[in-house]
Chains A and B, each alone.
Chain A
């Protein structure tokens, strides 16, 4: 019998996705890192830093202490606990990429699929607009927008999103063009479906894995660019424990107290790696050819 479950949540489909992800050690690692990162971020944010071993903002006179049992990753140049600061930074580094990529993927999907499917003047217009955005170096454009909006994390999101969406529009349009010429789209038109229906039901489900995989790999890039904005004074503001900002500020102690800049930098690397490993796994998990093997 066809899937006749009346549950609002199709547990069978998502169970299959998890089973495929868990079948490979690489994507399992990615999954663990991403879930761990998300859990810490949510937890730290909900408890308002209360669960951390030390207050990440309290300045002490134990400057640049090496790792010990009382300070697991040592202290920084102002005597703050590096571990606490790294954990306190997770909400910042989760919020910004998630927000920026959500905006970019949504906008990219909407404009890219319409441009690709409709073609003609609409396509020309959309693609020229993306060209305008791509003509500026991304960082310069983000800086200009962030500067005019004023410093702050939310403004940094609003500054990064315009830089990020054109890539997704181009990607979505390219994928749409290749799917549009396939026979099942034509068959759907022959069955009397409208453009809107075909875009929502045949094109988007077929290109979403591609965008999703690209977005997970892109996660690290957003963190890095956000760090640069923070360093230049328009992103996260100074006492904030945001990883990029911390790394940049502690960088001068790299030779004398490497833990101070290295721990937040490593955190960026691990999270970025985790997302790209997960992205790789997701690509497999969403492929119907592989899905069917796991039933």
Chain B
């Protein structure tokens, strides 16, 4: 079966006049339909860069794509013109950002922003739609609602639009577990709490029913109970619509809850890729092992939590060979010399470590 999204040998650099940072180094990753892939790693490991490069929203400059291709439905996104890419964004690939509060435009109410998302879907031609296509109001044409509406108060097409979409707006907000959609719809973003704002963002993405959803730390701004609800929502999205989800997170617990596959990143490289049960039961890379050991567990009888010694390497001058070797307790003579490839060692379990390759 053909993969929905396939990343091949992707390398991305952040370049400035004086320094050069290799944010992504030969990353290979693919997702099937209706699969949740969690991308796990410390801050600065290149997770967000990976997410942004898939949807082609990297700031260039300073970012430079060195090599590689990102295939979506067999087409290379990196070679696409901005116009073609804009057709894919939203319906083919959509993204939820880290900070819900600043992801909503402060001058529009929630109703305006959700109506906007519905309107985009409604006015898109069926051939350009990647998600399940639906149209509730075929006679509505792209309106000319102006930015001056706030000052002069003229908003003929906009109120018509909102009127036509109000039923779906309430539905979608109910789906993201907002108890009183009618009240929330009339609010401006700054009047919302972080959890509600994040749910509005997810509602916006739900409206489009994207084929691939990239969620960049969608739960890091939320408390634990809301976190669980948001994760449940993503699972529903996968189950009902069949979207693939790339969940970028630093929280292994989040990954354990909903992911099908887990990709562990370290210093811009993919070091381990396996099914979720595999990786938690039998981590093969020493870094994954270290990550798991640094989680507090109730049943463990230890005095102290084990961390990973040392810090994330400076990517301006990364260590030679395996980038993890200075912090690795199993490192041996070959590690600083050569870079380990990401090789399948077991059934569907890939790892980039010499220790496992020799077996």
Task: Give A residues with C-beta under 8 Å from B.
Answer: 1-11, 13-14, 17, 182-184, 186-194, 200-202, 204-206, 208, 212, 286, 288-289, 291-292
| A200→B186 CA distance, assembly (Å) | 22
Residue in B closest to A191 when the chains form the complex, CB atoms: B90
Cα A1 to Cα B94 in complex, Å, equals 27
Q: Are B151 and A183 in contact (CB under 8 A)?
A: no
How far apart sit A11 and B182, CA to CA, in the bound complex (Å)?
A: 20
A201: chain B residues at CB < 8 Å are: 116, 145, 147
A250 to chain B, nearest CB (A): 38
Please determine whether A6 and B160 come into contact, CB atoms closer than 8 angstroms.
Answer: yes
Q: Which of A4, A187, A194 contacts B163 (CB 8 A)?
A: A4
Instruction: Tell whether, in the assembled complex, residue B107 and residue A191 are in contact, meaning their CB atoms are under 8 Å apart.
Output: no
Beyond A187-B201, A288-B189, A292-B190, 20 extra complex contacts between A and B, CB < 8 Å: A1-B185, A2-B109, A2-B162, A2-B182, A2-B185, A2-B186, A13-B149, A183-B103, A184-B105, A184-B106, A188-B105, A189-B86, A190-B55, A190-B57, A190-B90, A190-B95, A193-B86, A201-B145, A288-B188, A292-B187
> With A10-B159, A184-B104, A191-B117 in contact, is A205–B150 under 8 Å at CB?
yes
Residue of B99, B105, B155, B191 with most chain A CB atoms under a 10 A cut-off: B105
| Residues 145 to 198 of chain B near chain A (Cβ within 8 Å) | 145-156, 159-160, 162-163, 166, 169, 182, 185-191
Question: Which residue of chain A lies nearest to B152 when distances are taken between CB atoms in the complex?
Answer: A14
Cβ B89 vs Cβ A190 within 8 A: yes
User: How far does the alpha carbon of A226 sit from the alpha carbon of B97 in the complex, in Å?
Assistant: 50
Residue of B91, B95, B151 with most chain A CB atoms under a 10 A cut-off: B151
**Cα separation A1 to B162 with both chains bound (whole Å):** 10
Question: Chain A residues with Cβ under 8 A from B86's Cβ?
Answer: 189, 192-194
* B35 in the interface (beta carbon within 8 A): no
- Give the 9 A-B residue pairs with the shortest CB-CB distance, closest first: A192-B90, A2-B111, A192-B89, A14-B153, A205-B147, A190-B95, A204-B147, A183-B102, A191-B90
Smallest CB–CB gap between A278 and chain B, Å?
13
Q: How many angstroms between the C-alpha atoms of A204 and B150 in the bound complex?
A: 11
Residue numbers of B with Cβ under 8 A of A are 55, 57, 83, 86-91, 94-95, 97-99, 102-109, 111, 115-117, 120, 145-156, 159-160, 162-163, 166, 169, 182, 185-191, 201, 204, 208
**Shortest distance from the beta carbon of A19 to any chain B beta carbon, whole Å:** 13
Q: In the docked arrangement, what's the CA distance between A192 and B109, Å?
A: 20
The answer to whether B91 touches A192, judged by C-beta atoms less than 8 angstroms apart, is yes
Task: Determine whether the beta carbon of A184 is less than 8 Å from that of B148.
Answer: no
A4-B162, A289-B190 known; A11+B95 contact, CB < 8 A: no
In contact, B153 and A206 (Cβ under 8 angstroms): no
B183, closest chain A residue (CB) = A1
Task: Report the nearest B residue to A206, measured CB to CB.
Answer: B107
Complex contacts, B97 vs chain A, CB 8 Å: 183, 186-187, 190
B359 CB to closest chain A CB, in angstroms?
42
A208 and B147 in contact (CB under 8 A), knowing A7-B159, A189-B89? yes
B106, A3: Cβ atoms under 8 Å? no
> Are A193 and B120 in touch, CB under 8 angstroms?
yes
Enumerate chain B residues within 8 angstroms of A8, measured Cβ to Cβ: 154, 156
Contact of A292 among B149, B154, B191, B208 (CB under 8 A): B191
Tell me which residues across on chain B come within 8 A of A200, comparing CB atoms: 146-147
Contacts A/B (CB < 8 Å), 26 sampled? A1-B166, A2-B109, A2-B115, A2-B163, A2-B169, A4-B163, A8-B154, A9-B153, A9-B154, A14-B153, A183-B98, A183-B102, A187-B104, A189-B86, A190-B55, A190-B89, A190-B94, A192-B87, A194-B83, A201-B145, A202-B105, A286-B150, A288-B106, A288-B188, A289-B188, A292-B190
**Known interface pairs A2-B169, A4-B159; A206-B154 also in contact (CB < 8 Å):** no
Report Cα–Cα, A141/B153, bound state, in Å.
38
Q: Distance in Å from the Cβ of B200 to the closest Cβ of chain A?
A: 11
Which residue from chain B places its CB closest to the CB of A185 in the assembled complex?
Answer: B105
Which residues on A sit within 8 Å (CB–CB) of B160?
Answer: 6
A150 to B188, CA, bound (A): 52
- Chain A residues contacting B90 (CB-CB under 8 Å) are 190-193
Specify the chain B residue showing the minimal Cβ separation from A15.
Answer: B153
CB distance from A186 to the nearest CB of B (A): 6
In the complex, what residues of B have CB within 8 A of residue A291's CB? Answer: 188
Question: Closest Cβ of chain B: how far from A127's Cβ, in Å?
Answer: 18
B111/A3 in contact, CB under 8 A: yes
Nearest CB in chain A: distance from B22 CB, A: 23
Q: Which residue of A lies closest to B164 (CB)?
A: A4
- Whether A184 pairs with B102 at a CB distance below 8 angstroms is yes
Note all chain B residues with C-beta closer than 8 A to A1: 166, 182, 185
In the bound complex, residues from chain B placing their C-beta under 8 Å from that of A292 are: 187-188, 190-191
B190 touches A288 (CB 8 A): yes
In the bound assembly, the distance between CA atoms of A8 and B144 in angstroms comes to 13
Closest residue of chain A to B104 (Cβ to Cβ) is A184
Identify which of B87, B159, B162 gathers the most chain A CB atoms within 10 Å of its CB.
B159
Q: Which of A5, A17, A182, A186 has the most CB of B within 10 A?
A: A186
Nearest Cβ in chain B — how far from A33, in angstroms? 19
